[in-house]
Structure formats: C-alpha cells, structure tokens
Structure 1
Amino acid sequence: MSAPLAALLGRKAEGLPPPEPVDFRSLVLPRSPNTCLAAPAGAHPAAHLATPPLPAGAAAAWPVLRRLGQRFPNTYPLAEWPERRQAQWVERSPRLGFPDVIAAELEEGPGGAAGLFLYSRSLFGWSDLGVNRRRVQAWIEALDAALRAR
C-alpha cells in the first residue's frame, strides 16, 4: 500500500510518515493555504497569528500542553520531544478520516511567561476552508484556559 493511501486508510496515528520535530524558527510554510502557524510576536516572519505570552512558565506549561490533545475529538498523540518541549498530534476529520498534523512547542519567554509555537497543517488537499486556523485558535484558547484553571 502506498504511503498516502496508508495515511488515508489509517486510524488514529497509523499510516502516517514517521514524525520529525519541527524547527519553528526556520520553518518554511508551503504555498498552499491549508496550514496555520501561530508564534510569539516577532518569532517567525510568516506566522498567521501571534500567540500571547502564556500565564505560566514553559516547565509548568509542558505537562498541560502534553495533555491538550485529549480535549479535542478525533485527536491522537503522534510524537514528543521533551527536551524541546515539543509534541505532535494527528486529528482525523470526522467523516472521512483525513489526517491533519498539529505541532506545538513551548519556549521560555520574558518575565517567566512561556511562548507558544503552534502549527496545524493538512496532509492532503490544497485548501482547508479555514479549518487549521480555527483549530489553532481553539488550541490557544484551550491551553490558556487549562493553565489558568490549574
């Protein structure tokens, strides 16, 4: 079975190419409009959204971020790189199971507040009709709420 077909027919994180960590500072976005990158203000010139400083430091926010995917339907852990405070998930579309990959990384910011990089991308198709942008916004809000509630 071909790799693209395996990714389409897979369940959860099955069938996807082996994950690699994202270098958010040098990430080159594709020409297609089926991605969304959020980054701390000034951290990436092509970011679609600026993430506000989080209400916790990176070390305190890391365990909360790791569990964040559990809050969203059809979202499954894909990989983690704790030394980078980076995690990735796959979210499958409800009807057809198309996979999108979400990558997040925390960095220490000024004044002890963590900075968040968050990147959501479709693995198939050209346009996503704004799905990845809405997802990124929802994840930012959910992480902020979870950190404030702890």
Structure 2
Amino acid sequence: MSAPIGALFGRGAGGLPPAEPVEFARLVLPPSPNTCLAAPPGGHPQAHIAVPPLPVDAATAWPVLRRLGEGFPRTTLIRDWPERRQAQWVERSGLMNYPDIIAAELVPGSAGAGLFLYSRSLFGWSDLGVNRRRVERWLAAFEAALRRR
C-alpha cells in the first residue's frame, strides 16, 4: 500500500487514507522488509513471530487490546471494529513524521484467544527492524496489561 504524500505532513491519522479492516486470512506480505506480522501458531504462513494462545478469551482481552496504543508515544487510534475485535493505530516517527500502521485482531481459540499483530511502514523499503521491534514491544506491553487487568 502506498500512502499519499500528505501523510508525511499530517499529525495522528491526518493525511492517511481511510482505514479498512485487515483480512488476516488473506493477507499477503509485501516483498519489502519493512513489515512484521505476529500470529497465532499456524495462523499465517508468512508470520515472523508466533504468539502463543492468550490466557483469556477474546472478549476479555478486547478492552485491554483496544487501549494498548495509548501507552506508546506518537501513537493514535485510527479506527476500531469491535464486532471483529480489530483495531488500527498509526505511530509516527519522531524525526521524520513517517506514519507506520499497526493492526491487531483477537480471534477465538480453544486454548485461549489468538492474537494477530501487524506493523508496517507506509514509506520506504527497509525499516532497519523498526516494525519488528515495535511488534515485540506491543506484545510485551499487551502481556503485562493482561496480567494487571
């Protein structure tokens, strides 16, 4: 996906195209190394990180996930789809204001909820590992928030 040049000058979700839900079952990652996908084990053939089942069901984890972006700098909720238990945020880089999109969805599972978490750059080819580090931070923050609930 390419973003309009106006996305570089916006704040929060300003300048970005309207958000649409991510269809994780049909998601094909781009050839560029500027994405990171975490998914339940066996949940996606291109996943970079396997996320074990959560110790709670999807309904219990949803409000925790929905608030997760509030704890990260320069991160704004773009939109959520409660019926899907999916939300999307934009995080802007501190120096250049580049927008990266983070999408997360909870899915029911027999051993606990499954989590998809996808971070992608809208500009450039390589992100020097930024999206993977972001996904790892979000996963750690989500696990800690679930323990505190």
When normalised by structure 2's length, the TM-score is 0.96
Contact 1:55–1:148 (Cα < 8 Å) also in 2 = no
RMSD: 0.8
Aligned residue for 1:125? Answer: 124
Same amino acid, percent of matched pairs:
70
Is the partner of 2:4 in helix, strand or coil?
A: helix
Aligned residue for 1:66? Answer: 66
| Runs of 5+ consecutive residues of structure 1 not aligned to the other structure | none
Shift, 1:147, TM fit:
0.4
Aligned residue for 1:143? Answer: 142
Distance 2:4 2:145 in 1: 35
Aligned residue for 2:27? Answer: 27
Aligned residue for 1:79? Answer: 79
Post-superposition CA distance 1:51-103 (Å, at most 9, x none): 11112110000000000001110000011111100000000001111000000
Distance 1:11 1:46 in 2: 31
When normalised by structure 1's length, the TM-score is 0.96
Q: Supply the AA of the counterpart residue of 1:103.
A: A
How many residues are treated as equivalent by the alignment?
A: 147
- Structure 1 residue ranges, 4+ long, deviating more than 4 angstroms after superposition: none
Higher helix share: 1
Aligned residue for 1:114? Answer: 113
Distance 1:137 1:27 in 2: 20
| Runs of 5+ consecutive residues of structure 2 not aligned to the other structure | none
Distance 2:73 2:141 in 1: 13
Shift, 1:30, TM fit:
0.3
Q: Supply the AA of the counterpart residue of 2:13.
A: A
